[in-house]
């Protein structure tokens, strides 16, 4: 299992608790990775590795090393803070998902998220689809979600509807 933008290791820790054979956590922040490692050790987990580097570079390097994972989770920070940079953000989402999908084993899973409130769910899914086509992968959407109740969406404040999450079953084209 690969957890990209792991922060404190939340997805990886849950995967280990659920029985993942091993996890790899990637984040550019050394502080976040120290917390992730501490959290893993506090839970008596040892089947993990940590990569302190840029996500895009790390994914490309893992591809060069012919690594593959049953599950890849992509949970980046916001790629845009304004409407004028939406096209750049969508290119980044397409690239990130292409790189992540290149590491998913056939019949594996991709879980991917966007917390960019300026990016619509429709545009986010289109960027994922573009990344999948570029990676030579076919995606079957098995779960789509939004933020949890502790981050309520206020109809009077559209920016409170920011989180898009999708999980896909992945096969080769």
Q: Which residues are catalytic?
A: 115
Residue 104 tokens, joined: 């998913």
First to last CA, the chain: 22
- Whose CA is closest to 112, among 86, 84, 141? 141
**Which 3 state secondary structure label does DSSP give 15?**
helix
β-pairing verdict for 137-145 and 48-52? unpaired
Q: What is the DSSP letter of 152?
A: P
């Amino acid at each position: 299992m690969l957890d990209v933008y792991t922060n404190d290791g939340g997805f990886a820790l849950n995967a280990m608790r659920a029985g993942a054979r091993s996890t790899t956590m990637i984040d550019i922040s050394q502080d976040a990775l120290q917390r992730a490692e501490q959290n893993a050790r506090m839970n008596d987990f040892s089947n993990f590795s940590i990569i302190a580097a840029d996500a895009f570079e790390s994914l490309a390097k893992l591809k060069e090393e012919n690594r593959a994972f049953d599950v890849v989770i992509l949970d980046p920070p916001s790629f845009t803070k304004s409407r004028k940079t939406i096209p750049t953000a969508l290119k980044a989402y397409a690239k990130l998902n292409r790189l992540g999908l290149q590491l998913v084993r056939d019949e594996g899973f991709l879980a991917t998220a966007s917390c960019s409130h300026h990016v619509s769910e429709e545009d986010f899914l289109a960027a994922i689809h573009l990344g999948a086509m570029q990676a030579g992968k076919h995606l079957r959407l098995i779960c789509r979600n939004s933020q949890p109740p502790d981050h309520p969406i206020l109809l009077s404040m559209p920016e409170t509807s920011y989180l898009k999450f999708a999980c896909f079953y992945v096969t080769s084209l």
